[in-house]
Structure 1
């Protein structure tokens, strides 16, 4: 089976696992992913919560969990998701990047952050599918992250699930304060992003150029004061060879509009 590429909102910390009403739509969506996509042989996650100087991939056989959220109940720091790593897939990722002139590093000590284990606990709770994580690159250059995805497109012929784990709206002040900001800005950026990724009338080059210049879109910097939760989408877009995506989630996360996309 060919790979599936999915950009999804992972929500706020462990809240999707805590019956939080602000995550009810997202939780239902994530739980039904296996019905749509089946069972992959491995999962590659590009998480918003890991940035390095050069692209880095987890390569340990049994990664621990990184509880990189703060102020939640003690039981959320006891969550277990003992999915195995996949050192051979990590080798293939680095080989693909190196083959395109992109320096890559493997890290056999880093664990899985919540950008991986929170959504995957809802999607594939049994933790039986090997997983690896790929970092974002410091500087957060959108063109570089599209190029990163393109360099990985050789992986698409295998039964792999690629997950860009972020959030299409990530203004923390607005997420915590429902009255903050202009809803028009939020809606304008949401509509622009959906059009950019899905409109059949756009060429691949036009999509890429729009994503490179994403910060010029209406409402862009209100929705993303910092873009780390958006850039996993750029990697996904690059891997998909600029083809249009399909909207598979369009709902609210913590009271704000969020989108999930599938290529």
Structure 2
């Protein structure tokens, strides 16, 4: 099985700028990387790319997409000169199409900050080929679980699959004064999510149903008014099809958030 990680990737380029509300995230990403064998290739599903069909970057040398605004000038000069891996993208596209999932290769779009920001922390040498996979507009949870299942069938244990999103993503709440009621809503959803991902007392049928019906979780729509930052986790679960091996709970931007690891080394 490939190694699989879901990352709460934080706010824009802030993890790279020394922002104190991201210190725990940087430390956690470093810790996770030390637990993983170095992959031969990386596949990242980022919350910041939605397409009409599953789309995959197909360039030999992908550029970067600085898809944020209002940050210091240095935020627009970051480099992450990793190679692409067109042959792996083509293999995944072919397998998805055989499963009647419409898929496209993308030769223009750069890697967005949901990809290059965590990778600059985890693998700063940029010496591992990387491809990015989009979410699909409509944000259907079961479709994204299926995408994860199919990607897992295409890759071997030397590939790292990363879901890059955020377990809490209410933009208004990030800029609203915190109070006990909002803390409790945040924590209730986190508790549900951690149980869903890690419980050994749950059948995979039950776990999958929870992912499919995530809106029924406590305060789900407070934590995710829109679910694009949660669905990379659905892809990760689809690829893993089991409880995660490790849960990392931390504070990012003053909110409780979580990261999840499925490791072939454990």
Give yes or no for TM over 0.5.
Answer: yes
Contact 2:7 2:162 in 1 (8 A): yes
Alignment match, 1:65 = 64
Secondary structure of 2:160's counterpart equals strand
Alignment match, 1:149 = 148
- Flag structure 2 segments of 5+ consecutive residues without an equivalent: none
- In structure 1, distance between residues paired with 2:156 and 2:78: 33
Alignment match, 1:138 = 137
Contact 1:194 1:247 in 2 (8 A): no
Alignment match, 2:92 = 93
Alignment match, 1:253 = 252
Alignment match, 2:33 = 34
Secondary structure of 1:245's counterpart equals coil
Alignment match, 1:24 = 23
Could you list the per-position Cα deviations for residues 140-180 of structure 1 after superposition, in whole angstroms to 9, with x for gaps in the alignment? 01111111111222134330000000000000111122426
Q: CA deviation at 1:34?
A: 2.7
Contact 1:247 1:259 in 2 (8 A): no
Q: CA deviation at 1:103?
A: 1.6
Alignment match, 1:222 = 222
Equivalent runs, 1:104-253 vs 2, <5 Å? 104-179=103-178, 182-241=182-241, 243-253=242-252
Equivalent pairs counted in the alignment come to: 261
Could you list the per-position Cα deviations for residues 37-78 of structure 1 after superposition, in whole angstroms to 9, with x for gaps in the alignment? 021000000000000001000001111100001100011101
Segments of 4+ moved more than 3 angstroms: none
Could you list the per-position Cα deviations for residues 198-248 of structure 1 after superposition, in whole angstroms to 9, with x for gaps in the alignment? 11111111111111110111010010000000000001111112x101334
Contact 2:60 2:86 in 1 (8 A): yes
Secondary structure of 1:27's counterpart equals helix
Contact 2:2 2:152 in 1 (8 A): no
Contact 2:66 2:113 in 1 (8 A): yes
- In structure 2, distance between residues paired with 1:89 and 1:154: 12
1:80 correspondence with 2:62: no
TM-score by length of 1: 0.96
- Flag structure 1 segments of 5+ consecutive residues without an equivalent: none
- In structure 2, distance between residues paired with 1:71 and 1:32: 30
Secondary structure of 1:64's counterpart equals coil
Q: RMSD value over aligned CA atoms?
A: 1.2
TM-score by length of 2: 0.95
